[in-house]
């Protein structure tokens, strides 16, 4: 158990907003909290190191320690109990598509509840067969089911004979199986729960039980309860209200309910035949919900202290640093200026959506060398590969092998911490996302360039109004995940004459959706094409949250090249190369970018991968939206053999979409162009670019080049 850790309910706010902090501490002594401004989050001794500035604030103080538990696993629960006790017989039924059973070569999860009410449970037993449990009595069909196959399953009780019978019937292939025992005196009463069962007695959060077990893994469709005469008591239709966390009972008593821990909706059901790919057009084909034993949305920890952002706190990246008994943690959040009231001419767009989508990414390349590097550099000590119980990222798989499609910041995110090392291999800092974006903030601070911060959340909520007051808008290292609203705002800013700097790679790549009612919940469907951590099932490419087609923005008709002129073309490991100036860079229209820089190699150094052009690379392509007037001023070269072309570019083993050779597609372009409204765009197309800015305290040609661009864009 991690001895001291926490999170906050909002990753950003404006003056007057209150952010709540939730902490779990195993100590019997109070923990302390202090406010810091975060400048550099890189513990690499070859760089500037961790730089934080203490800020006196109202959060400073000591708070009682307490251990706060969390309860993974998704399920549905009715708002109310059955209207009356069913003592003359009853039937529980559902259609199921199990994904994790106790079979040869597979993980065992023990019993898995499908539908339970008042101690009577329709379930899958440890052998993988359908079973019923009533107190200490249990009956099984003794016929293990197959994974990823649809079954009609039921539990029936005849009060006259006392027969408790279970049945499983494959919808397509196989034979029906039954099991019966005599269990006199059963009755059904209580509050129905779907895909789990309550551990009684146990703690509760309001009227929701927190102690839930026996989680089901797989899809459930059409769960229902009938009385002994066959009359309908309750029937939940999951094809209704797919975008919500509510479940609707079509029975006579309106036993509607709610879903806990965000199981996946807009899932194909037993009737789906491929005729329709969008749940909005044929909801009856999408009547299933996919539940997982390791789903997690909101840890629901109690608030230990809160912080109302004062009017005089400058915009920036901040940390609530907590200490107790030799342990510490740092909880990041971002302070934005009041809407429409910029305090600087430069706006740094912080990619919190991307941070959360990657939150707690347990990398398959995790290596024990990580621990040695952490100890050597005194870096952040916790890694999601070691602590998967805190909930993984959308780059990981659930225990049943399905991809994680939901993300949330309402839990501790190890990799959104200063000093977190993504990798312990190689000589570079091994940073991504929040710690890596600190390279840009470090450079701006050292150059004396004032900046405000706006995060993806403000951009999504407020649109162009969030960034309109600024002379220049710049990204960090990896603005990969966007909603339609955030892209709309960036495009509007650019097209209305704003100056835009894209200082990263693999930006504007995946489409995500934000839940309208569940704060901080994000959804990704990894549809056809792209560098995919997992592949969505056929027919499940549309987001449940907003009903839009998911996957790559390129597949949605908005390639990244249409945003900043560059789009993802190649990916490698944590290695960086350099740029070489192209002849077009000598044109007077763009030569000012290289003022003070000769014909030398550009960026063959850096804290990220050892070079300014690396890891994930973007290229220009007018057919995908790069403006005709864009000038490619530099191009990277000499990438290692492990840097490969992205799969969406490949048509066959010998033909690529662009009709160029694979070798010709593995590079980063650096471009500049003007917009019709008089704005300017500068893009670098590399994730490792910002890692070169603070190299040798900013005395390098990447720093000089970036300063030239920023000064011109600011009008200095």
Q: What is the CATH number of the domain that holds 169?
A: 2.60.120.200
Task: With beta carbons less than 8 A apart as the criterion, state whether 281 and 262 touch.
Answer: no
165 and 220: one domain? Answer: yes
14 and 48: one domain? Answer: yes
pLDDT at residue 107 in the model: 40
pLDDT at residue 502 in the model: 98
- Burial (Cβ within 10 Å: 0-12, 13-18, ≥19) of residue 531: middle
Is 537 part of a structural domain of the chain? yes
Token pair in block for residue 645 = 């072309």
- Tell me how far apart the alpha carbons of residues 72 and 217 are, in angstroms, rounded to a whole number: 13
Q: What is the CATH number of the domain that holds 454?
A: 3.40.50.880
- Tell me how far apart the alpha carbons of residues 407 and 670 are, in angstroms, rounded to a whole number: 32
Give the residue numbers spanning the domain of 521: 339-367+384-408+428-714
Is 296 part of a structural domain of the chain? no
Domain end point (choices 227, 261, 291): 291
Map residue 416 onto helix, strand or coil: coil
**Higher per-residue pLDDT: 109 or 327:** 327
Q: Residue 318: is its pLDDT beyond 60?
A: yes
Is 376 part of a structural domain of the chain? no
Is 259 part of a structural domain of the chain? yes
> Torsion angle of alpha carbons 278, 279, 280, 282, nearest 10°?
100
55 and 85: one domain? Answer: no
- Tell me how far apart the alpha carbons of residues 240 and 420 are, in angstroms, rounded to a whole number: 42
435 and 550: one domain? Answer: yes
User: What is the arithmetic mean of pLDDT over 515-527?
Assistant: 95
Reported as a pLDDT band with limits 50, 70 and 90, residue 102 is: low
Q: Residue 207: is its pLDDT beyond 60?
A: no
Domain end point (choices 259, 291, 323): 291
Reported as a pLDDT band with limits 50, 70 and 90, residue 208 is: low
Q: Residue 206: is its pLDDT beyond 80?
A: no
Map residue 473 onto helix, strand or coil: strand
Interstrand relation of 551-552 and 510-514 (parallel, antiparallel or unpaired): antiparallel
Residues 6+ apart with CB under 8 A from 46: 429, 607
Q: Residue 600: is its pLDDT beyond 50?
A: yes
160-171 pLDDT, tens per residue?
999 999 999 999
- Tell me how far apart the alpha carbons of residues 141 and 130 are, in angstroms, rounded to a whole number: 6
Ramachandran bin of 322, using left for φ above 0, alpha for ψ from -120 to 50, beta for the remaining angles: beta
Is 238 part of a structural domain of the chain? yes
What total number of domains does the chain contain?
3
Q: Residue 104: is its pLDDT beyond 50?
A: no
pLDDT at residue 653 in the model: 87
- Burial (Cβ within 10 Å: 0-12, 13-18, ≥19) of residue 65: buried
pLDDT at residue 205 in the model: 45
Lowest pLDDT segment from 21-35, 284-298, 422-436: 422-436
User: Which of these, 406, 371, 354, 410, lies nearest to 687 by C-alpha position?
Assistant: 354
Share of the chain above pLDDT 70, in %: 97
Q: In what order do the strands lie in the sheet with 4-8?
A: 4-8, 18-25, 305-308
Distances 300 to 66, 328, 456, 579, 620 between C-alpha atoms, Å: 14, 21, 23, 48, 45
Is 542 part of a structural domain of the chain? yes
For 642-647, the CB contacts below 8 A with 24+ separation are 642/572, 642/573, 642/575, 643/570, 643/571, 643/572, 643/573, 643/575, 643/617, 644/570, 644/571, 644/572, 645/569, 645/570, 646/530, 646/531, 646/568, 646/569, 646/570, 646/571, 647/529, 647/530, 647/531
537 and 482: one domain? Answer: yes
> What is the full DSSP assignment across 252-292?
TT---EEEES--EEEE--TT--SS---TTT-GGG--EEEE-
Token pair in block for residue 451 = 């900046």
- Tell me how far apart the alpha carbons of residues 659 and 222 are, in angstroms, rounded to a whole number: 49
Reported as a pLDDT band with limits 50, 70 and 90, residue 110 is: low
Residue in the block written with tokens 């629960």: 77
Q: Residue 201: is its pLDDT beyond 90?
A: no
Token pair in block for residue 94 = 């559902």
Distances 352 to 158, 210, 483, 520, 539 between C-alpha atoms, Å: 56, 29, 12, 10, 29
pLDDT at residue 109 in the model: 45
115 and 64: one domain? Answer: no
User: What is the arithmetic mean of pLDDT over 345-367?
Assistant: 94
pLDDT at residue 458 in the model: 98
Is 416 part of a structural domain of the chain? no
454 and 593: one domain? Answer: yes
133 and 239: one domain? Answer: yes
Residues 6+ apart with CB under 8 A from 142: 127, 129, 177, 179
User: What is the arithmetic mean of pLDDT over 6-10?
Assistant: 98
- Burial (Cβ within 10 Å: 0-12, 13-18, ≥19) of residue 404: buried
Map residue 397 onto helix, strand or coil: strand
Mean pLDDT of the chain: 94
Interstrand relation of 218-227 and 288-291 (parallel, antiparallel or unpaired): antiparallel
Reported as a pLDDT band with limits 50, 70 and 90, residue 528 is: confident
> What is the full DSSP assignment across 24-68?
EE--SS-EEEEEEEEEE----TTTT--EEEEE--TT-EEE-----
622-636 pLDDT, tens per residue?
999 999 999 999 999
Domain end point (choices 234, 264, 291): 291
Is 418 part of a structural domain of the chain? no
Token pair in block for residue 163 = 């027969």
- Tell me how far apart the alpha carbons of residues 200 and 602 are, in angstroms, rounded to a whole number: 65
Indicate the helix (H) or strand (E) that contains 90. Answer: strand 90-98
The model's pTM is 0.96
Cis peptide before 201 (omega within 30 of 0): yes
User: What is the arithmetic mean of pLDDT over 233-241?
Assistant: 98
Map residue 225 onto helix, strand or coil: strand
447 and 550: one domain? Answer: yes
Q: What is the CATH number of the domain that holds 28?
A: 2.60.40
For the chain, what's the residue count? 716
457 and 577: one domain? Answer: yes
Indicate the helix (H) or strand (E) that contains 482. Answer: strand 481-482
- Tell me how far apart the alpha carbons of residues 540 and 528 are, in angstroms, rounded to a whole number: 10
39 and 99: one domain? Answer: no
575 and 702: one domain? Answer: yes
């Amino acid at each position: 158990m991690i001895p001291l850790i926490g999170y906050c309910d909002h990753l950003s706010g404006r003056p007057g907003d209150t952010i709540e902090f939730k902490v779990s501490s195993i100590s019997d002594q109070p923990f302390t909290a202090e406010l810091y401004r975060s400048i550099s989050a890189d513990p690499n001794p070859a760089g500037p190191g961790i730089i934080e500035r203490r800020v006196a604030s109202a959060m400073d103080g000591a708070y009682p320690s307490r251990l706060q538990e969390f309860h993974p696993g998704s399920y549905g629960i009715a708002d109310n109990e059955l209207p009356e006790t069913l003592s003359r017989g009853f039937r529980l039924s559902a259609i199921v598509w199990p994904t994790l059973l106790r079979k040869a070569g597979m993980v065992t999860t023990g019993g898995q509840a499908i539908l339970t009410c008042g101690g009577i449970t329709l379930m899958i037993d440890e052998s993988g067969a359908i079973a019923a449990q009533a107190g200490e009595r249990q009956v099984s069909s003794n016929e293990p089911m197959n994974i990823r196959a649809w079954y009609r399953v039921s539990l029936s009780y005849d009060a006259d004979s006392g027969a408790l019978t279970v049945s499983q019937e494959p919808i397509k292939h196989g034979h029906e199986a039954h099991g019966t025992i005599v269990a006199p005196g059963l009755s059904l009463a209580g509050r129905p729960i779907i895909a789990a069962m309550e551990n009684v007695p146990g703690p509760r959060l309001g009227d929701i039980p927190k102690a839930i077990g026996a989680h089901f893994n797989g899809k459930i469709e059409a769960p229902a309860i009938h009385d002994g005469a066959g009359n309908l008591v309750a029937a939940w239709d999951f094809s209704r209200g797919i975008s919500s966390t509510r479940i609707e009972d079509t029975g006579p008593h309106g036993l509607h309910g709610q879903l806990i821990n965000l199981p996946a909706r807009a899932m194909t059901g037993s009737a789906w035949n491929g005729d329709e790919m969008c749940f909005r057009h044929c909801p009856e084909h999408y009547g299933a919900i996919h539940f997982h034993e390791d789903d997690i949305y909101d840890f629901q920890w109690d608030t230990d202290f809160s912080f109302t952002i004062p009017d005089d706190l400058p915009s920036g990246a901040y940390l609530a640093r907590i200490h107790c008994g030799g342990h510490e943690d740092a909880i990041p959040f971002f302070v934005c200026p009041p809407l429409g009231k910029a305090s600087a001419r430069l706006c740094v767009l912080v990619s919190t959506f991307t941070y959360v989508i990657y939150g707690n990414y347990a990398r398959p390349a995790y290596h024990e060398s990580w621990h040695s590097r952490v100890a050597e550099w005194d870096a952040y000590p916790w890694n999601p590969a070691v602590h998967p119980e805190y909930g993984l990222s959308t780059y990981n798989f659930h225990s049943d092998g399905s991809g994680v499609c939901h993300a949330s910041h309402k839990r501790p995110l190890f990799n959104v911490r200063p000093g977190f090392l993504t990798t312990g291999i190689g000589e570079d800092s091994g940073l991504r996302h929040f710690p890596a974006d600190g390279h840009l903030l470090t450079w701006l601070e050292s150059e004396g360039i004032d900046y405000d911060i706006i995060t993806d959340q403000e951009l999504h909520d407020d649109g162009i109004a969030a960034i309109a007051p600024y002379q220049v808008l710049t990204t960090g290292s990896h603005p990969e995940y966007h909603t339609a609203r955030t892209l709309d705002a960036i495009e509007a800013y650019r097209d209305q004459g704003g100056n835009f700097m894209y200082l990263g790679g693999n930006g504007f790549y995946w489409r995500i959706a934000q839940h309208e009612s569940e704060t901080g919940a994000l959804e990704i469907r990894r549809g056809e094409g792209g560098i995919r951590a997992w592949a969505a099932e056929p027919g499940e490419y549309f987001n449940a949250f907003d009903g839009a087609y998911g996957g790559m923005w390129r597949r949605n008709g908005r390639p990244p090249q249409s945003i900043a002129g560059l789009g993802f073309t190649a990916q490698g490991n944590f290695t960086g190369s350099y740029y070489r100036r192209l002849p077009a860079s000598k044109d007077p229209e763009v030569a000012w970018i290289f003022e003070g820089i000769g014909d030398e190699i550009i960026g063959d150094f850096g804290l990220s991968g050892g070079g300014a052009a690396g890891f994930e690379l973007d290229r220009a392509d007018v057919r995908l939206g790069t403006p005709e007037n864009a000038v490619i001023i530099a191009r990277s070269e000499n990438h290692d053999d492990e840097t490969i072309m992205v799969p969406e570019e490949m048509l066959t083993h010998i033909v690529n979409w662009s009709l160029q050779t694979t070798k010709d597609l593995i590079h980063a372009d650096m471009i500049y162009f003007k917009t019709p409204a008089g704005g300017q765009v500068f893009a670098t197309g590399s994730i490792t670019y910002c890692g070169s800015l603070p190299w040798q305290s900013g005395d390098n040609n990447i720093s000089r080049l970036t300063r030239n661009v920023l000064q011109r864009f600011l009008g200095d």
